Amino acid sequence: GIQVEQSPPDLILQEGANSTLRCNFSDSVNNLQWFHQNPWGQLINLFYIPSGTKQNGRLSATTVATERYSLLYISSSQTTDSGVYFCAAPQRGAGGTSYGKLTFGQGTILTVHP
Amino acid sequence: DTEVTQTPKHLVMGMTNKKSLKCEQHMGHRAMYWYKQKAKKPPELMFVYSYEKLSINESVPSRFSPECPNSSLLNLHLHALQPEDSALYLCASSQVGVFPRTSGRRTEKTYFGPGTRLLVL
């Protein structure tokens, strides 16, 4: 099945700093999702980004499907950005499906200090 | 409304108990999922329901029994669990997309509920 690797595993920032998180995947994907898990365990979907670039406030994401990676940019970080960031890609199935099982990377633990 | 709800938020049960976890969504999604997450690990898929039918079972032990009564509800029945089953159980839902050229199915944007923290004593 598809392998998903994230880097760095841990990231400590001062409030206001910018950061880039990386997600590499071992196979071509038809979609790539980024999630933020807050300290209470809630997983929030940040981006559904098969390819190209999307922006949502201080966050943006870029997926280069042909080179099998995606990047999540966080600008002007805030303490509320702390938590674990996961990327996830679906397993490819028979007949070109891309469905069902999401395989998650190990996550990047982000800590933002005031 | 982009919300998936789960009850209960916390659950403590003995190894001989029977309990159920409940999940609900009103986004019209036709795929619903159960994931299990251990501390400091990513979520791992347990089951997928597609159009109210079980489509993926990731070799989950039979002490976990999923049920999809209708397109909005998903249950997970628990019986004779072991302490190692203690974890955060996450429900998720997504729309089912279709690739235009192949008609193959595609998972659309996935929404997770807040989870149930389960402790098995």
- Buried/exposed A63-83: b ≥16 CB within 10 Å, e otherwise: bebeebbbbbebeebeeebbb
* Residue type (1 letter), B118: L
Q: Name the closest residue on chain B to residue A105, using Cα atoms.
A: B42
Of B113, B106, B36, which is closest to residue A91 (Cα–Cα)? Answer: B106
Taking CB atoms and an 8 Å limit, are B107 and A99 in contact across chains?
yes
Taking CB atoms and an 8 Å limit, are B102 and A43 in contact across chains?
no
Sign of torsion over alpha carbons B13, B57, B7, A83 = positive
**Average pLDDT over all residues of chain B:** 92
Residue the block writes with tokens 């595993």: A9
State residue B10's pLDDT score.
Answer: 97
Phi, psi angle pair for B5, to nearest 5°: -110, 150
**A30 at the B interface (CB within 8 A)?**
yes
Distance between B56 CA and the closest CA of chain A, angstroms: 7
**A34 at the B interface (CB within 8 A)?**
no
State residue A94's pLDDT score.
Answer: 60
Q: pLDDT tens across A86-106, in order?
A: 999 987 666 555 567 889 999
- Of A99-103, B11-15, B35-39, B50-54, least confident by mean pLDDT is A99-103
**A86 at the B interface (CB within 8 A)?**
yes
Rounded to whole angstroms, how far apart are CA atoms A113 and B75?
39
Rounded to whole angstroms, how far apart are CA atoms A75 and B12?
40
Q: Name the closest residue on chain A to residue B98, using Cα atoms.
A: A97
State residue A28's pLDDT score.
Answer: 79
| Contact residues on chain A for B110, CB-CB shorter than 8 A | 33, 45, 48, 88, 102
**In angstroms, how far is CA B88 from the centroid of its own chain?**
11
| Contact residues on chain B for A101, CB-CB shorter than 8 A | 45, 48, 56, 58
Distance between A113 CA and the closest CA of chain B, angstroms: 20
Distance between B6 CA and the closest CA of chain A, angstroms: 11
Instruction: Identify which of B15-24, B47-56, B91-100 has the greatest average pLDDT.
Output: B15-24
